[in-house]
Amino acid sequence: MNAYTHKVQYYETDMMGITHHANYIHWMEEARIDFMDQLGFPYAKMESDGILSPVRSVSCVYKHPCSFGNEISILVRPEGFTGALLTIGYEMRNQNGELVCEARSEHVFVNREGRIVRLRKEQPEFCRAIEAQFPPKE
């Protein structure tokens, strides 16, 4: 999978010229949507099929500040998948290769009524595509 690149915008920074911490979560969403597109399962298509994926939790560890004009490369990798819960890891690096943030998000899969969807039954191709992203088991 290709990393997603985000260029830090002026409005994303605070009075000190540093990216406000909440913006990293927006970038995670941008990178996650790009990841789904690369997998061949655009999120918009899943929604039109009646499957939603709300965030269950999110965490970020900020390692190095970002500022206006920085190009942030975001590597997305699945870390866990049960068929109903997907855990995604994010590694964000600036244009100099410095690690700026490590993050994780958890997503559940539900239908429009809010009931858990078992993707192994509903979307087996998606499950295979996600599971193919994990390192081979030894």
HSE value, Cβ hemisphere, 13 Å, CA-based, for 111: 8
Task: Determine the Cα–Cα distance for residues 64 and 9; give it in Å rounded to an integer.
Answer: 17
**Residues 41 and 35: beta-carbon distance below 8 Å:** no
Max Cα distance, the chain (Å): 50
Which residues are known to be catalytic?
Answer: 14
